[in-house]
Structure 1
């Protein structure tokens, strides 16, 4: 069921020299390239762009455009901790949506790390009203949780979540047990669901 929709924002591309790039979603990657940004991945040059991303799905999307990643982390919290511990002298541009979590925006400047959020797509919460009754629901993003929960109850259903960040958002709406996948990908969440109903 579609509970959110995303629309790329037209942005005039600018020089990325001397910046490291952050992507936390597939939508961010697609909007970045649709706006004709051009990373420099020439490692013989001192001004190449290191690319950091969240999730294997985001990494695969970058690969479709011909670009590799310097570091892949499971979620924004893990990425923030890695940058704070290892990348104090880099400057970061984060290409994301308007509803991106503020973890990086809050954590990195506090550590005097130069960071700027570049919004390249807009996420709209559709807030549907669901009349049918279901036994379980699977959430794939915090914005999806907010959109669904605005007009629908989470009570009486088994709740599955693709990762800790999404589970944290679910906890704002219910005290029920949340089954969270170990990895932020479709294979992991499907395995979790299958194993839950086998037991």
Structure 2
């Protein structure tokens, strides 16, 4: 019996192989379109909050060449891949957590005297700024990229739908239903959004694309044998 899934994010060949090696088929598209804003990053901050790889890419595109050397900055990151991309640019990573709420708590507990530049999208969650404001930790928010829904309609009956962000869930749901499909989510934040539309939710062990795919293989393995 063939299993076909829908991914709300374009997968790389190596990521698709995780599924195809287990005889799982996948259609994929971008539920969210990302566009970087040509705006100069404020050079007066040494402590930078990066919540995604997109914020890192936007920062590199827009950071003034006359500003501080990158190795003089300090980064506070959400996600292992975000931290890896920051490190590749020569910026030291001081803190890394898997979720924004965890990072905000760590900043409050360990770095309350610092002033941060919080780089985000136009549709950011309130986890980080809400907690920093509550505990009077100084920060400036700067929108680095635009997050725009790409609401396509799907007629196929998928066994599972792979979600990678709350905004991706919202984009998919604008023209579709989860129905009897299993919603496999990248983490608790995305799962919380998916739970508004379905009770059939599975959460990956780690908040990475690969972990979502591995969870899909684990869930459907009895149906592909």
Flag whether TM exceeds 0.5 (same fold). yes
Whole-angstrom CA distance in 1 between matches of 2:201 and 2:75: 32
Q: Is the 8 A contact 2:104 2:128 kept in 1?
A: yes
1:159 is aligned to 183
> Could you tell me which of 169, 174, 188 is aligned with 2:211?
188
Shift of residue 49, structure 1, vs aligned partner: 2.8
Q: Is the 8 A contact 1:9 1:121 kept in 2?
A: yes
1:2 is aligned to 30
2:82 is aligned to 58
2:201 is aligned to 178
SS in 2 for 1:70: strand
Q: Is the 8 A contact 1:97 1:122 kept in 2?
A: yes
SS in 1 for 2:156: coil
> Could you tell me which of 113, 131, 134 is aligned with 1:107?
131
Matched, 1:121 2:145: yes
What do you get for the CA RMSD once the two structures are aligned? 1.6
- Stretches of structure 2 that go unaligned for 5 or more consecutive residues are 1-28
Cα shift readout 1:166-188 (whole Å, capped 9, x = no counterpart)? 111112222x1311112111232
Whole-angstrom CA distance in 2 between matches of 1:54 and 1:13: 19
Q: Is the 8 A contact 1:105 1:116 kept in 2?
A: no
Matched, 1:31 2:58: yes
Aligned residue-pair number: 192
SS in 2 for 1:128: coil
Whole-angstrom CA distance in 2 between matches of 1:125 and 1:39: 35
Cα shift readout 1:82-134 (whole Å, capped 9, x = no counterpart)? 11211111111111111111111111111011122110100100111112221
- Bigger relative contact order, structure 1 or 2 (CA pairs below 8 A, ≥6 apart): 2
Shift of residue 142, structure 1, vs aligned partner: 1.0
Shift of residue 58, structure 1, vs aligned partner: 0.7
- Stretches of structure 1 that go unaligned for 5 or more consecutive residues are 43-47
1:45 is aligned to none
> Could you tell me which of 100, 107, 115 is aligned with 1:83?
107
Q: Is the 8 A contact 2:55 2:144 kept in 1?
A: yes
Structure-2 change in CA distance of 1:39 and 1:166 (3 Å): farther
